[in-house]
Chains A and B, each alone.
Chain A
Amino acid sequence: MEEVVFFAGSIGALGGAIAVVALRNPFYSVLALVVHLVALAGLFLTLHAEFIAAAQVVVYAGAVMVLYVFVAAYVGGVEEPEWEPISGQKFLAPVLAAALFVEFSIAILGTSLKAIGDEGPTIPLGFGSPEAIGTLMLERFLIAFEAASILLLIAAVGAVVLAARKRQDGEPTSSTRTPGREAEEVAG
Chain B
Amino acid sequence: MAIEWYLVLSALLFATGAAGVLLRRSPLVVLLCLELMLNAGNLALLAFARSTGTQDGHVFALVVMVVAACEVVVGLGLIVAMFRRRLPLNVDELRGLKG
Contacts and interface: CB of A to CB of B under 8 A. Distances in A.
Q: Do A and B come from one complex?
A: yes
Interface of A: 2-3, 6, 10, 13-14, 17-18, 20-21, 26, 29-30, 33, 36-37, 40, 43-44, 46-49, 51-52, 55-56, 59-60, 63-64, 67-68, 71-72, 74-75, 78, 80-81, 85, 89-90, 92-94, 96-98, 100-101, 104-105, 108-109, 115-123, 127-128, 132-133, 136-137, 140-141, 144, 148, 151-152, 154-156, 158-163, 165, 188
Nearest to A126: B55
B25 A80 contact: yes
B50 to A, nearest CB: 5
Given A90-B23, A108-B4, A116-B7, A188 B46 contact: no
Given A14-B9, A49-B49, A94 B23 contact: yes
Contact of B46 (A37, A47, A74, A93): A47
Contact of B70 (A78, A132, A155): A155
